[in-house]
Amino acid sequence: GAVVSQHPSWVICKSGTSVKIECRSLDFQATTMFWYRQFPKQSLMLMATSNEGSKATYEQGVEKDKFLINHASLTLSTLTVTSAHPEDSSFYICSAHKAGSPYEQYFGPGTRLTVT
């Protein structure tokens, strides 16, 4: 099967610091990865789309200087939350589209970020 991992699974950081979240496709190459944010009891909201080797495309309202996305290889994308504030506390989920597959995306298990 297609497996996507995220690291860390949860993180607590202090306000003003930066935190990096990794998303890896373990057994397939992912040409495109997506980053979602999910608040409690709400749906997934797309933050950005990242393609390997090119700049990420951010959704309207998402600050690209605050949420830095790097897709350096076909198996790794990273999301860095810079100068984190308590309102950035959320559940962040990545998904990866398998190269050559027209269908579903494969989701990571998510990362819970708490900013104190």
Under rule CB under 8 A, residue 16 binds other proteins: no
| Whole-number Å distance between alpha carbons of 103 and 85 | 36
Provide the minimum distance between the beta carbon of 16 and other proteins in the complex, in angstroms, as a whole number: 27
| Residue 32 or 82 with smaller CB distance to other proteins | 32
Cis amide bond preceding 8, omega within 30? yes
Nearest alpha-carbon partner for 9 in 84, 92, 67, 74: 92
Q: How many other CB atoms sit within 10 Å of the CB of residue 70?
A: 15
Residue 89 interacts with other proteins (CB under 8 A): yes or no? no
Residue 97 as a binder of other proteins (CB under 8 A): the answer is yes
Instruction: Return the number of the residue (36 or 81) whose C-beta is nearest other proteins.
Output: 36
Q: Which two tokens stand for residue 57?
A: 């495309």
| Type of residue at 83 | S
Of 56, 95, 113, 115, the one binding other proteins (CB under 8 A) is 95
Site residues, other proteins (CB under 8 A):
31-32, 34, 38, 42-44, 46, 49, 51, 91, 93, 95, 97, 102-105, 107, 109-110
